[in-house]
Structure 1
Amino acid sequence: MSLRNNIIANYLSQIYVTTIGIIVVPFYIMHMGAEVYGLIGFFVLMQSWLTLMDLGLTPTVVRETARFKGGNLTALYFRQVVRALSIVFWTLAVVGGSALYFLADTIATSWLNIESLAPDVVVFALKVMAITVALRWLSGVFRGIIQGCERLVWLSYFNVVLATFRSVGVIAVMNIWGFTPNIFFTYQLIITILEAVILWSTSRSLLPHIDKDIETIGWSLKPVKSVLKFALTIAFTASIWLLITQTDKMVLSGILSLSEYGYFSLAVLVASGIMIISGPVSNAVLPRMTNLFALNKHSEMLEIYRNSTQLVAIIACSAAITLAFFADHLLYAWTGDEQIVQHVTPILRLYVIGNGLLAITSFPYYLQYAKGNLRYHLNGNLVMAGALIPSLIFASSNYGAIGAGYVWCAINFMFLFFWVAYVHSKIEPGLHVKWLLNDVLVIFIPAAVTGYLLNLFDLQLQSRITSFAILVLCGSLIIIISTIFSSLVRNYFVSIFNQRFG
């Protein structure tokens, strides 16, 4: 499967998954209330924090699978590595899920600020969350094998079907049995079980065949030692990264009431679409860049690196700029609820700007990942965490969600313009200026100027249809301007022209 098809399939599925997940939120709030949606937001937070147990295992599965496909590992050794990693996955899933399950009462009574929900309802929801989160995390090893084999088109179709059942199917089920937290979280658990079974079956079919009469996989953990350094480096950086991206959410979950946290979760959900947009690129690029580096094709690897940067700059930055200037129109067209617009718009604007910057600053990690050396990524995360976490705790505690948003924007801005330059100078001397000017700023600046000029028209909220039209028109214009200034797109059309008329 070509890299282009993998990226396209990933983008289409992620756009669908993100869109369907966002579209159904007003139905949740309308039928269950902002407080229950705050509980759903806490569910998402728990999934993020449970990835602390990953210990770098999922990225390691992807990388080892890509190395096997590239001819760097034998079939037997690869099967032994997968078996050993699976043992660790199962063990940690049981430990983490059990811990969250037995802490449900404490979380419900001592951490969450419940307003009208019955405590026993919240405890039941938290216990079901614990099982669901553990199973979804466990599926990471199966997804890793599929992703490393570059079966991303199949995975994209699967994600679309799964998102439909998870987001839309639950509404149909609750319409029959009631719009309650118990029904919602029980349904999510059932879908998660089906997800794990299907991913397990598919990943098994992709594993290489070995002659069991001659070769034995065994149950030893020794194969993990060969990838331990790489896995632990990713694990530590992932832990720091989790602290960087989730500290504000954890702190605010204990400060805000569940209903206020619901509005905050709504803003974060929409803003997360910016990072989700860059996800398909990384899913497709990481195994391909790793394979090219293993084959000593350095120039081809850098070409993919720079082209994928432009692709993310066009789409992610254009989306961030559009939402930063027209967040109120998006929220009103989507929900038709002026109270949601009032509560969510200021937070959303800050988080989409921060996430737009973050989507670009993630790229040096891809380069380091392909080379198998994450030292600078580790150091960068430590520096960022040292500056961000105390600032977020202070700002969140004193100024709530708005304070956290301002800190998030400021730190990501400084990280892009200072730390990324340092990393590029160390791992690819001479790359940074060309990368920043020709692959990022030449696309970002015209789009930002376009958004600013459109915002000068001071377009007021009128009707949901009008707001939707304004959002589509302005967003389309911003992304068109971004595309025009991209050398990647220009070269693509020139090549098509030469093929047809040259």
Structure 2
Amino acid sequence: MLKKITILYSSQIYRAIIPLIFVPYTIGILGAENYGLVSFFTMLIGLIGILDAGIGSAFIKIVSTNRFNQYSFQKVISLFLKVFFIFLIIACIIIVSFYFSSDYIVIGWLKTSINYPEAIYCIKLIGIILSIMYLKSFVSSFINGMERQDILALWGIIYTTLFYCGSYLAIKNVSNDLYTFFKIILFVSILDFSIISFIWILLVFFNIKLTKKKINETTQFDKIADEFSLLKIAKFSLQLSGLSIIWIIATQIDKVVLSKYLILEEYANYQIAAQLATTISIFTVPLTQFLLPRLSVLYKDKNEKEFLRIYNISLFVFVALLSPIIPYFFLFGDDIISLWIRSDLLGANINGYAKWLIAAALIAGIMNFVFIILYAQGKLKNHFYAYIIYSSLTIPLSVLIAKYYGAVISAKFVFIHSLLFMIFWGGYCVHKLMNKFINFFALIFGGVFILSTSIFYIFSNTKYITSVPILDLFIPPLINFFITLLIYFLVKRYIHLFFSKITLN
């Protein structure tokens, strides 16, 4: 467990840091407006997940709970290949759609002065790249269900290096234009899909070979097959699909609308802020990849003690490490982004969006733990309906706010509605699912947040700590971390006592 989590986190940290390193260099070569088209492409990567419709996440659960029996596993493979064919058809539709709508996107949607033939060509390439990424994400869901996230993580390090380092070296040494940039991205995407598909073939082959050795009673097959074909699996997938679609729309709608009403250069600033907010995924993605299949199996096996132990420790570490990021960006965000982007004006501009989006991303990360426990217990139905009601209000309001009030108000609105949803719906869910959990969460989150805010406020009123600006920005969070760690060791007995009192309802 520790080895796998270490690999997942190392990969996620690397894959979050590398893009941030290359942002200022890529902007420096391509220019702010050309980078705006890259930002538009980044937004579309997040949006393309809507076409997955939650099917990939459903397969994680199906694969993880059926991979230990040869007969049921072969049924899963058969179903997977049928669904993959549907995904292949959709991927072709994506390519055709971008090909024929490229003129409208360049002229009717984006506010840009990029050379017309270059912009048209790049939009068509974007369609091909997105279709390949779409297929790759579906195949990856099967590998996640096999609980081989470590393999994906290790390959992800190589892929990220090729994606960002390769594109940067190409525009630096070959040609500093968008043609070259997107051609390299297309090549890397094809290679990525090929490697992921090869990993899938190997895992399927070795799992079938392994399960053949474990067959003792063939009389169990009919029972497993009947269980696998129950209508509840289809209903679960449908709930998850709807939830996934609505979630993607709700989280991407501000970026989609702003891409039309902001000039491309300003839109790039908003997307950079959004990219900073996605660094929260350093923690959420590996945890989700690990917890979804593991907790599903533990709940199925009725191992409540281990279920709660893993869940509570994961949430505790997440909250303790990440809660300080909100006050940090509100007090030091302008300086840290200016140092990174090498422009005081851009730093203040980007952090005007980033501090709100980062706070919203942390809240979404906490809400992800609510989703995880509902997913593991197969209780997504009410969550699905709640998210429909929530999104039916926030999506149209997000469109109107982005259109009439601009990017800063949009970022603030994302934070406000995320916070309200966590308080009311998230609080209700954990109250119903786990006894005494809210007390535990309020103690940890409130204590860490108040402590870190106090420490950062004191340092923010101290002009210089050292003569090195980067040290002045990194010393406060380091001190905050060590003080938090010290307090934990002083009171860990009471924290574990809180753990022991939490039970599933």
Q: Structure 1 residue 347: deviation in Å? A: 1.1
| Distance change in 2, residues 1:488/1:70 (3 Å) | farther
Between the aligned partners of 2:320 and 2:329, the Cα distance in structure 1 is 14
Q: Is the 8 A contact 1:81 1:224 kept in 2?
A: no
SS for the counterpart of 1:292 is helix
Match of 1:445 in 2: 450
Between the aligned partners of 2:174 and 2:418, the Cα distance in structure 1 is 45
| Distance change in 2, residues 1:484/1:127 (3 Å) | farther
Which amino acid is the alignment partner of residue 329 of structure 1?
D
246-255 or 388-397, which moves further after superposition?
A: 388-397
Q: Is the 8 A contact 1:310 1:488 kept in 2?
A: no
SS for the counterpart of 1:362 is helix
Aligned with 2:412 (options 393, 406, 416): 406
| Distance change in 2, residues 1:266/1:373 (3 Å) | same
Match of 2:479 in 1: 477
Aligned with 2:248 (options 242, 246, 250): 242
Match of 2:462 in 1: 457
Match of 2:502 in 1: none
Q: Is the 8 A contact 1:125 1:182 kept in 2?
A: yes
Matches within 5 A, 1:56-95: 56-69=54-67, 74-95=72-93
Q: Is the 8 A contact 1:234 1:374 kept in 2?
A: yes
469-478 or 67-76, which moves further after superposition?
A: 67-76
Between the aligned partners of 1:21 and 1:303, the Cα distance in structure 2 is 34
| Distance change in 2, residues 1:189/1:302 (3 Å) | same
| Distance change in 2, residues 1:380/1:409 (3 Å) | same
Which amino acid is the alignment partner of residue 209 of structure 1?
I
Q: Under a length normalisation based on structure 2, what TM-score does the superposition of the two structures give?
A: 0.88
Match of 2:359 in 1: 353
Q: Does 1:172 align with 2:177?
A: no
Q: Sequence identity of aligned pairs in percent?
A: 22
Between the aligned partners of 2:299 and 2:167, the Cα distance in structure 1 is 44
Q: Structure 1 residue 359: deviation in Å? A: 1.2
Between the aligned partners of 2:312 and 2:410, the Cα distance in structure 1 is 32
Aligned with 1:121 (options 95, 114, 118): 118
Cα deviation code 1:118-163 (max 9, x no counterpart): 1221111111011101101111122112212222222221111111
Q: Is the 8 A contact 2:242 2:384 kept in 1?
A: yes
| Distance change in 2, residues 1:84/1:373 (3 Å) | farther
SS for the counterpart of 1:296 is coil
Matches within 5 A, 1:153-172: 153-172=150-169
SS for the counterpart of 1:311 is helix
Between the aligned partners of 2:353 and 2:168, the Cα distance in structure 1 is 27
Aligned with 2:202 (options 205, 228, 231): 205
Q: Structure 1 residue 459: deviation in Å? A: 5.8
387-396 or 197-206, which moves further after superposition?
A: 387-396
Match of 1:434 in 2: 439
Match of 1:497 in 2: none
Q: Structure 1 residue 226: deviation in Å? A: 6.9
41-50 or 245-254, which moves further after superposition?
A: 41-50
Between the aligned partners of 2:441 and 2:101, the Cα distance in structure 1 is 46
| Distance change in 2, residues 1:482/1:351 (3 Å) | farther
137-146 or 95-104, which moves further after superposition?
A: 95-104
Which amino acid is the alignment partner of residue 30 of structure 2?
M
Q: Is the 8 A contact 1:271 1:352 kept in 2?
A: yes
Which amino acid is the alignment partner of residue 367 of structure 1?
I
Which amino acid is the alignment partner of residue 171 of structure 1?
Y
Which amino acid is the alignment partner of residue 234 of structure 1?
L
Superposition CA RMSD, Å: 2.7
Matches within 5 A, 1:96-495: 96-114=94-112, 116-207=113-204, 208-209=207-208, 227-428=233-434, 430-457=435-462, 466-486=468-488, 490=492
| Distance change in 2, residues 1:157/1:122 (3 Å) | same
Q: Is the 8 A contact 1:56 1:238 kept in 2?
A: yes
Cα deviation code 1:440-486 (max 9, x no counterpart): 333333223322332233569x9xx8332122212212333444455
Between the aligned partners of 1:321 and 1:49, the Cα distance in structure 2 is 29
| Distance change in 2, residues 1:482/1:252 (3 Å) | farther
196-205 or 387-396, which moves further after superposition?
A: 387-396
Cα deviation code 1:85-115 (max 9, x no counterpart): 322222222223322332111111100001x
Between the aligned partners of 1:493 and 1:381, the Cα distance in structure 2 is 32
Cα deviation code 1:390-449 (max 9, x no counterpart): 332232223211101111111122122211111123333x24423422443333332233
Between the aligned partners of 2:49 and 2:155, the Cα distance in structure 1 is 22
| Distance change in 2, residues 1:431/1:70 (3 Å) | farther
**Which ranges in structure 2 are unaligned for 5 or more consecutive residues?**
213-220, 222-227, 497-505
Between the aligned partners of 2:148 and 2:451, the Cα distance in structure 1 is 36
Q: Is the 8 A contact 1:14 1:276 kept in 2?
A: yes
Q: Is the 8 A contact 1:388 1:411 kept in 2?
A: yes
SS for the counterpart of 1:113 is coil
Which amino acid is the alignment partner of residue 413 of structure 1?
L
SS for the counterpart of 2:153 is helix
Between the aligned partners of 1:272 and 1:472, the Cα distance in structure 2 is 20
Q: Is the 8 A contact 2:70 2:208 kept in 1?
A: no
Between the aligned partners of 1:41 and 1:484, the Cα distance in structure 2 is 41
Q: Is the 8 A contact 1:357 1:413 kept in 2?
A: yes
450-459 or 74-83, which moves further after superposition?
A: 450-459
Cα deviation code 1:357-385 (max 9, x no counterpart): 22112211000111122113212322331
Between the aligned partners of 2:359 and 2:366, the Cα distance in structure 1 is 11
Between the aligned partners of 1:244 and 1:227, the Cα distance in structure 2 is 26
| Distance change in 2, residues 1:284/1:484 (3 Å) | farther
| Distance change in 2, residues 1:155/1:224 (3 Å) | farther
Which amino acid is the alignment partner of residue 202 of structure 1?
I
Aligned pair count reads 479
Q: Structure 1 residue 303: deviation in Å? A: 1.9
**Which ranges in structure 1 are unaligned for 5 or more consecutive residues?**
216-221, 495-502
Between the aligned partners of 1:226 and 1:369, the Cα distance in structure 2 is 13
Q: Is the 8 A contact 1:353 1:409 kept in 2?
A: yes
Match of 1:498 in 2: none
Q: Structure 1 residue 491: deviation in Å? A: 6.6
Q: Structure 1 residue 223: deviation in Å? A: 7.0
| Distance change in 2, residues 1:466/1:380 (3 Å) | farther
Q: Is the 8 A contact 2:284 2:365 kept in 1?
A: yes
